[in-house]
Chains A and B, each alone.
Chain A
């Protein structure tokens, strides 16, 4: 296999490639056309692009092959799709880009958007968002469901896309750059509480996988592994990836929010939203 093959999709999905191209394209066009004072700085642009490329990489390169036939690589894939990628995308604060397109396309007050807006508000209800975030992880890792998802191509794509979209919704709720002081954005305290609460069930699930004596996910055994590896090792590594990095990302998220909350207390109420958005550029490092 040549080097180029590693960057080609294992299971080519035109819809996926088109979606990512569209996202990057819309972002790029908005950057060029938007007024300079709205435009995100280089740090934010790079953060956004890295987040998008990470998600693309685990879905449409050789990485996807290993994700299908090794449990621990699959956990790594979901770590990127549900946590790391959306985390970076939300942290990069693409709000000005969204606003630009909202304005350009004249979406305000369109009646067909109303059900979507309603659905968005429901999904972004703090309790629903938190339950959905953890629930999806549990749902797709439910052994019977996981078995089917790895056997069926359609379910597999559904699983990965649902993880990515839910990741985007959740981390956007967490890192919404609008200040809770003068907008309807969720308060920093609630956001930090959610981050702490969602970490717990993930740690329990990960620890349960790590300490399971028997094979919980035998689909990788049944369908053959990408390379010969002891099933116990595969499961152990997969469990660790479910357990530790998501918990660490919750903590990182809390720290970022703490910093933002402290910063917003030191600024005048009128300046808040602007300063917070600008401060985001510094959060990238």
Chain B
């Protein structure tokens, strides 16, 4: 019996939450405030150092899961993010850090990861970890990744999230960028986020 009243209460709050989520239509990205936990991770950069969310605290963080052998989605997304960031004033550009998390630690060794992210701009950090750590992080952000069977040459595809998660300067989850957004739309959202907490 207890559960029934709880259920009603829950239903009412669900209606309320969804109503609130719909009321904010100004962002181009999907507003995920309150839906997802704050930014928290412990990964390794190509130099072998441990990196946590605190290292980029005070910046707007863009979290993206991918792998360097990714044929289309990853390069397109990273190029678009770079293009969006370039539109902003120089000052604002320094307030944004892109975190590229490789979910293919088997193939993405430090050199490969370092040269890959360097190609897409300055304020981008290549990160990876062991599979268990990566699974835990992707689970935290309600996403997953999976490996295809390798072909004769040992190449395999990796399924991963195509979304970019944006965290504000305090590390709160704010936006989810769907892949269909343009660089201008992403830039506009980023500009607002950077300005909001200056």
Q: Across the interface, do A153 and B4 meet the contact criterion of CB distance under 8 Å?
A: no
For the complex, is B35 an interface residue (Cβ under 8 Å from A)? yes
Selecting from B39-47, B55-63, B78-86, B136-144, the interface stretch reads B136-144
- Closest A residue to B30 by beta carbon equals A147
Is the Cβ of A148 less than 8 Å from the Cβ of B146? no
Q: What 1/0 mask marks residues of chain B from 148 to 160 whose CB sits below 8 Å from any chain A CB?
A: 1000000001011
Q: Does A30 contact B (CB under 8 A)?
A: no
A interface, CB within 8 angstroms of B: 10-11, 19, 65, 68-69, 113, 115-117, 119-120, 123, 136, 139, 142, 144-145, 147-148, 150-153, 155-156, 158-159, 161-162, 165-166, 169, 218, 221-228
Question: What is the bound-complex CA distance between A90 and B16, given in angstroms?
Answer: 31
The 4 closest A-B pairs by CB, nearest first: A152-B35, A116-B1, A223-B143, A224-B161
With known contacts A120-B4, A158-B10, A224–B17 Cβ distance under 8 A:
no
Q: A272 CA to B45 CA in the complex, in Å?
A: 74
Set of chain A residues within 8 Å of B143, measured between Cβ atoms: 69, 223-224
Report how far A19 CA is from B143 CA in the complex, Å: 27
Q: Which of A68, A151, A158 has the most CB of B within 10 A?
A: A151
Q: Report the bound CA distance from A261 to B161 in whole Å.
A: 53
| A211 to B: closest C-beta gap in Å | 23
Q: Taking the nearest CB of chain A, how far is it from the CB of B62, in angstroms? A: 15
B4: min CB distance to chain A, Å:
6
Cα A42 to Cα B191 in complex, Å, equals 66
A144 near B22 (CB under 8 angstroms)? Answer: yes
Band of interface residues on B:
35 or more
With A144-B18, A158-B10: A151-B145 Cβ-Cβ less than 8 Å: no
B-chain residues with CB within 8 Å of residue A148 when the two chains form the complex: 17-18, 21, 35
Q: Contact: A223 with B144, CB < 8 Å?
A: yes
List the B side residues contacting A142 at CB < 8 Å.
18
Please tell me if the beta carbons of A11 and B159 are within 8 angstroms of each other in the complex.
no
Q: Which residues 33-74 of B sit at the A interface, judged by CB distance below 8 A? A: 34-37, 65
Q: Is B11 a contact partner of A162 (Cβ separation < 8 A)?
A: yes
- Does A224 lie within 8 Å of B10, measured CB to CB? no
Does the CB pair B146–A225 fall under 8 Å?
Answer: yes
Q: A90: shortest Cβ distance to chain B, in Å?
A: 15
Q: Does B170 have its Cβ within 8 Å of any Cβ on chain A? A: no
Q: Which residues of A contact B36 (CB under 8 A)?
A: 151-152
Alpha-carbon distance A120/B143, docked complex (angstroms): 38
Partner of B160, one of A117, A151, A224: A224
Distance in angstroms between the alpha carbons of A161 and B65 in the assembled complex: 30
A113's nearest neighbour on chain B, judged by CB, is: B1
With beta carbons under 8 angstroms apart, the residue of A10, A161, A222 that contacts B179 is A222
- Contact string against A for B residues 1-14, beta-carbon threshold 8 Å, 1 for contact and 0 otherwise: 11111011011011
Selected from B4, B14, B146, B179, the residue in CB contact (under 8 A) with A119 is: B4
